Amino acid sequence: MHVYPIQLQQNSVVKRNKINTVTNTEKYMDYEKSKISTYTSTPVYFVNKIARSEGIASITFTGEGKNVKQILSLAYENKATGLSEDSQGGLGVVTNEAPASFRKNEGLDVRTIMPFHEYNNPKGGYKFLYTKYIQPDKDGKLPDEIEARWFISADPGQTLEEFAKTYNYDVNDVKYVIQSEPKGKEATSLSKYCIIEPTSAAGEIERMSDLDIGKTQKIKYQLFKISKENPGYNKLADTPNYWMYTEELAKIPKPYTYGPEGYGGIDAEIINSDFCRAVLKAGEQMDTKEFGNFNPANFWGHDRPVAMFVNHIAAESANGNEFYNGTITHFTMHNPGRNYQGFTDNPFQFARAIFSVEDIEKIRNHPQYELLQNFNARGWNNLTEVEKDFVRKAFDPYIGQFKDFFGTYNITKVALVGKMVNPKNTSIGTVSPNFDKEMKNPNMDVAPGIESELRSVETVSPLNGSTPANLGLDNNSKDFGEGLNTLSAEKTGFTPLKYEGNNIEELIKNREANGKWLTGIIEKAAEQGQNALNRVFFNDAQIAQGKSVFGSLSKMKDGDMLIMGWGRPDEQKGYPITFEGFLKFLKRKDVPKEQKLKVKLIVGAGKDTWDKNAKDFKLIQKTLKEIQELDGGIYAHNVMYVDGLFPNKLVGCATHAIFTSRREMCGITPLEAKAAGVPYITTATGGPVDYTNAQNGWLTKTAPEMTPTFDNLDWDTPADKIDDVRIERASDEVSDCMKQVTDEYFNDRPSYIARCKKNIEEKLDWHNNDEFNGGKSANKSYRNDIWHIDEGWEARAKTPMKRLVGASAEDMQRGLKKATETIKDEATKASDNVKKVANSQNKWIKTALGAGVAIAALGTAAYVYVKKHRKKATPQPQTTIDNKPAETTGQIDKVA
């Protein structure tokens, strides 16, 4: 049993009874009955809550209960579940590999909590797997994939026992489950899944109500652990890792989205923030025997969806919850690009994400609460710009510090503010030292809107590692992609790659054989038509979702090259640079045509398809067509694009790889190329600059996202124009790299072999990538530079943290004064017109004639009304405000 040394401050007094001091004992005080009872599993911070409620001083927590070798990780992806929804990008690789390496090589207890998601679960209840009619294998285990008809959604709040009783099922035949999207729309279509089990960590969180900014809304949560009874593709089944349930999380089809249709935006960020709140509350309940006394001194949040975690921890500590005093929270920015930061101009919604209960109470006591609530009820998009400006100024004393350069409230900036306010308890960084420098470089544009804040705080950014074994290059037993495609049907034709230290030429030959296998399948499919081409990579369900291929490849001959790129269908990945660079290479006069004809390019984008209206998708299509038509169509079968799930294992078919990101934090894909011994071209941004050199690859001369002045433009140039110029410059440099690549491959075989050998022998795993990480592995850097584990608990800053939300009464009054003064001139200018309508039936306009703060506050609406009706001699009762019907103005009537 875990022991909490606890100590009451001297002279502590209960309202009714005096209490004796208790030290170094497995006892806690039963304050209600004034007796000592056996301490079992109630953590000391709960005792403190009881103490405060009874009017005594807090118990001093000496910290021995906190474990500096325990880390709680919040991650919106984790590739180790084996579900496609949990591996949409590099983040899912990091959140899988890093904790696994920390556990294995550093002896750390790292546990991950992920957000619930379910396929086709719009009600938001639990989903159950009914197993009675599912045939187990010879070992009694459930199959790796199960027909969709056996996954059944329940009503919100319905437990397994209640569900079984409702349908007259044996409870032993029902299991809690996370269902992945099936490979088809039929009831018999197969789904992957994750079996889960409820834990005792459950309860409610509170945040600002969706309907009333002065009230709270309670949200139930339940923590589930991943069951050991899971298929082999679930690498977390033998480790303590968890899913967090809330009703809204359970509706989403995959992480990062909101609701059953998968919408994003600020609504998603509010649900993300609820997830963070729930994880904190569950974390306070895990120091029991059930959880192996998990009481972490360290927290790790991955990317924007969990940025609010930093705020909620600070608020809990500042409000007297000693559980967080002395803890260190590290926030990893996996992508600080503008599209990834999470921003809004709506202070109501941002407040819902960031406010604590104390902040909501202060809003309720705001002098203009009723007016603010009226504006909230009308809906942000229905307000005039003057009204919006008033709301922003009223809220800015609370959340103004989270505005970015563009004047929007920024989710990512929350973590930056956390580092500024609580520097000893908050850490922040990205995933490579070079990208860390780029974020702060005034000559670069990779983190628009938050660069100055990044330059003002200390960041720690170890180069992340890569675990080659996860590629599965050494076997041909597993399906490619989602299976039920041509590649999977012919997977035995893939020759496994096994490097043994002295067989690099054999490995290269095996890759070349695999290239012929892949391109031979593609060539044969092309002869049969587009559907057959699509089926090379996709099954029927994926094709029905719009996944498809563009272009085709002829089968490779001896001596041909296959350049391969892969990654998310995302503007970050810079695919137009790849294709434009290839087009320019094919147009070069300094490369023989017979040599260019030997070069093939295949690129695949992630698990999802492009939005067909996206600029990059249109540029890809345009350049593909130009390549296919160049020189009378002689290169028509030298280029191919796969719009959908592209298996990274196919790197075992490539001679070279290419990655042309606009910005690249670490670059999982180049590291995967290294693991296969494949030399690569990459743009000179982020992590690739740290681990790419003249012996293993080719870097472009410049990073794509330099400031406009670098390209002889100014900041007033339209964003699309700036991007076009960057693509043009970067693609010129890619074309130059392609010439160097082909010159080596066709004319200097020994150098190519040496480059392959260099790549595959480089140590890149988390515990041994010292060569590229300043002489210290990623593991050691995280351990000692971020969480300071070896320094022990005594070195921690244990004083209560400061709140990030500025909500003091003084700030509130200053903000209100600023807001009212800003609009007072407008109200004054309109005063004569207001008087003319003073006898109208609109009560709120009469109120606007009052003195002091009220005239300034309501002056915004009065001003808008008068401006619209300045020329009218007699106002009409049924007029409109802000282009809204009369009943809308009636809401303001009620406030006045």
DSSP single-letter state for residue 381 = G
Give Cβ neighbours of residue 280 (< 8 Å, ≥ 6 apart).
Answer: 309, 312, 313, 316
| HSE value, Cβ hemisphere, 13 Å, CA-based, for 51 | 24
Global confidence as pTM: 0.82
Which residues of 610-763 form beta strands (DSSP E)? 638-643, 656-659, 680-682, 697-699
Please state which of the ranges 485-494, 721-730, 824-833 shows the lowest mean pLDDT.
Answer: 824-833
At CA 834, angle to CA 830 and CA 838, rounded to 5?
A: 170
Residue 124's SS3 state is coil
Find out whether 701 and 731 touch, Cβ atoms under 8 Å: no
Please state which of the ranges 49-58, 149-158, 550-559 shows the lowest mean pLDDT.
Answer: 49-58
Measured CA to CA, the distance from residue 614 to residue 576 in angstroms comes to 12
Residue 766's SS3 state is coil
- pLDDT tens figures, 336-350: 999 899 999 999 999
610-626: burial string, b at 16+ Cβ within 10 Å, e else: beeeeebbebbbebbee
Please state which of the ranges 170-174, 223-227, 254-258 shows the lowest mean pLDDT.
Answer: 254-258
- pLDDT tens figures, 559-598: 999 999 999 899 999 999 999 999 999 999 999 999 999 9
- pLDDT tens figures, 15-33: 222 223 333 323 333 333 3
Query: Looking up tokens 């009218």, which residue turns up?
Result: 872
DSSP single-letter state for residue 297 = E
To the nearest whole percent, how much of the chain has pLDDT over 90? 75
State residue 848's pLDDT score.
35
- pLDDT tens figures, 739-772: 999 999 999 999 999 999 999 999 889 999 998 9
Neighbours of 811 (CB within 10 A): 16
DSSP single-letter state for residue 800 = P
What is the pairing mode between strands 548-553 and 561-567? unpaired
Say whether pLDDT at 73 is over 50.
Answer: yes
Mean pLDDT of the chain: 85
Measured CA to CA, the distance from residue 564 to residue 562 in angstroms comes to 6
Q: What would you measure as the largest C-alpha separation in the chain, in angstroms?
A: 96
What's the average model confidence in pLDDT over 592-611? 92
